[in-house]
Chains A and B, each alone.
Chain A
Amino acid sequence: MSELHLTDEILMAFADGELDEPVAAAVARVMAQDPAVARKIVEFQQSRRLTRSVFASNLTPDVPSELRAAISAQIEAYEAASAAGEKRQPVEAKSLWARGAFPIQMALAASLAAVAVTAGYLIGQQSQPVAGRLAQLEDPRVLRELSRLESGREAELPVGRLRVISTYRLPDQSLCREFRLQSTSTATGAVACRTDEWTVTFALAEPAKGAEYVPSSGGDLVESYLGNLDAGNPLEGEAEVKALAESVR
């Protein structure tokens, strides 16, 4: 097979031992005759060795004791729960790390004052009446945008700036979207789900963004919520466009 076109990818796969036998044998024959091919293969072997050395040198075995302790605690909690035959524990008190502590504690403290809404919860500061906040989230203009705005896009609305974050299909086939509504005084992260119309099922109000804002934890709570719904991976690109188009039909 003298006509075998030896791309860089094929030579690399040969160097990595990833080629199937007939092709590998053909490459070996060419390599024996063509020094340029042989050199390329050697270079691919070299780059692999170099990379491995760098990664080996980055492997610091001393996992910080806080991280190790936090994960051991998680493991114990899950293993105890499964030994007791319970359903999986709600993923709640996360981030035992000090770094993420501020927003999560705010949120958990506030959740004592959580108010159940139709199908879900509104958790957050009580600086504004809960019903008012919910009304903003379920403003017809917000709901209309939820049916057409792709994830990652924004819309300026009279009730604030809407940003859609992601879209999920639940096992029961309903469509859910995570979004944020930012008004001058507050930012609210929320999830709305739809069977015939959009309903806000979860909302988490955050204090107006300060300089010390830590982004991960507010998201963690929304993430836990979505995880408990078995939301799976978000729909992206065409899958999302299609799902949105179908939902308004």
Chain B
Amino acid sequence: MATAIGQELVALLPRLRRFALVLCRSQPLADDLVQGACERALAKANSWTPGTRFDAWMFRILRNHWIDHLRRMKAEGMMEDVESQTHLIGDPGEEPIMNRLALAEVQRAIDSLPQEQREVLALVCGEDLTYREAAEVLNIPVGTIMSRLARARKRLVEVTAAA
């Protein structure tokens, strides 16, 4: 009997879209990625161990799906299109202390980070994964997570302090 993950999957959709957007920076592509990742997850629902973090498991599937996609895109010479696509900034929600401008400033700083730093930042500071969980999602050592994350955050502090 397959593990039923449907409900959790639906509940996770907003966060999956958000992480997909960090990866590909295009909302239509992000939605395609989310759909593809859900399909993969459903097909191998049994490989998720109940009791472990479902979100981390899904982030990993989503990111692998993205890498496969990139691999094929590269074969098509389509990389530039992805890079040049812009992305959307959602409505400022919580954290009323911070004004819209400051958020936009940080958003720009995050966008200017290299992809490898941005995805680590998203998983640890945006999605509250531990270093180890993020390392499993990205399939890299914890030490690499830490050095990328520290560089990204130092950069954010520099940028926002200068503003």
Contact = CB atoms under 8 A, between A and B. Distances in A.
Nearest to A15: B153
Interface in A9-47: 9, 12-13, 16, 18, 43-44, 46-47
A91 B90 contact: no
B72 A165 contact: yes
Contacts of B122: 55
Given A52-B126, A63-B17, A216 B4 contact: no
B18 A99 contact: no
Given A47-B125, A50-B160, A78-B43, A59 B13 contact: no
Contacts of B68: 166, 219, 223, 234
Nearest to A61: B14
Interface string B108-135: 0010000000000110111100110000
Contact of B14 (A63, A213, A220, A223): A63
How many A residues touch the partner, as a band?
A: 35 or more
A79 B6 contact: yes
A180 B31 CA distance: 26
B94 A56 contact: yes
A145 to B, nearest CB: 15
A74 interface: yes
B42 A75 contact: yes
B140 interface: no
Contacts of B93: 56-57, 59
Question: Which of B14, B39, B98, B146 counts the most A-chain CB atoms under 10 A from its CB?
Answer: B39
A46 B92 CA distance: 18
A163 interface: yes
A71 interface: yes
A237 interface: no
A54 interface: yes
Question: Interface SS of chain A: helix, strand, loop or mixed?
Answer: helix
A70 interface: yes
A54 B13 contact: no
A95 to B, nearest CB: 7
A18 B131 contact: yes
Given A53-B103, A61-B14, A97 B31 contact: yes
B107 A97 contact: no
A43 B14 contact: no
Interface in A203-219: 213, 215-216, 219
A88 B44 CA distance: 9
Contacts of B162: none
A18 B149 CA distance: 13
B72 A215 contact: yes
B76 interface: yes
Contact of A48 (B18, B36, B72, B125): B125
Given A8-B154, A59-B14, A91-B43, 20 more contacts: A9-B143, A13-B131, A18-B131, A43-B157, A44-B153, A47-B153, A50-B98, A53-B95, A53-B106, A55-B125, A64-B31, A68-B10, A70-B35, A79-B4, A91-B39, A95-B35, A166-B68, A215-B73, A216-B72, A234-B71
Q: Which 6 A-B pairs have the closest CB atoms?
A: A55-B126, A82-B2, A51-B125, A47-B153, A75-B6, A219-B72
